[in-house]
């Protein structure tokens, strides 16, 4: 893979920063909804189950967003250190197309695939 050009670096940096903002906004919006369901509240049994189901979905979304935010922060840091775009496992260039799709990606496609297979 080619090294990233300066224009590509700048484009991905802008992507990272707006992604970070978006994730932070989503997390602060959902922080209220993530409060435990109040089981004493006089709502029907079905709607209580609905509420609990909704809440566990919300929790899963939140932890996915938190994880992604961590990766975004890591990528912003690597950019500052001039290491951005290198696979954190094998050191190869991750490549612009992949970074454009996932600017926070810490690994190249091959290493990501290996990690997912390993679980």
- Closest Cα partner for 27 from 80, 65, 78, 1? 65
Residue 77 or 90 with smaller CB distance to Zn ion: 90
Query: Near Zn ion by CB under 5 A, which window of 41-49, 62-70, 78-86, 107-115?
Result: 107-115
Q: Report if residue 111 touches Zn ion, rule: CB under 5 A.
A: yes
Q: Report if residue 12 touches Zn ion, rule: CB under 5 A.
A: no
Q: Please give the structure tokens belonging to residue 37.
A: 């369901």
Residue 3 or 21 with smaller CB distance to Zn ion: 3
Residue 9 or 89 with smaller CB distance to Zn ion: 89
Q: Report if residue 114 touches Zn ion, rule: CB under 5 A.
A: no
Burial of 2 (0-12, 13-18, 19+ CB in 10 A): exposed
Contacting residue, 90, 100, 113, 114, with Zn ion by CB under 5 A: 90
Residue 43 or 90 with smaller CB distance to Zn ion: 90
- Dist. CA 19–CA 10, nearest whole Å: 14
- Binding residues vs Zn ion (CB under 5 A): 87, 89-90, 108, 111
């Amino acid at each position: 893979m080619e090294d990233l050009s300066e224009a590509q670096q700048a484009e991905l940096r802008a992507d990272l920063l707006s992604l970070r903002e978006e994730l932070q906004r989503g997390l602060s919006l959902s922080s209220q909804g993530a409060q435990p369901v109040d089981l004493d509240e006089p709502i029907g049994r079905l709607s209580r189950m609905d509420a609990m189901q909704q809440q566990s979905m919300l929790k899963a979304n939140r932890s996915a967003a938190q994880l992604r935010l961590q990766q975004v922060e890591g990528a912003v840091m690597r950019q500052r250190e001039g290491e951005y775009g290198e696979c954190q496992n094998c050191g190869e260039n991750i490549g612009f197309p992949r970074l454009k799709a996932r600017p926070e990606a810490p690994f190249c496609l091959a290493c990501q695939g290996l990690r997912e297979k390993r679980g």
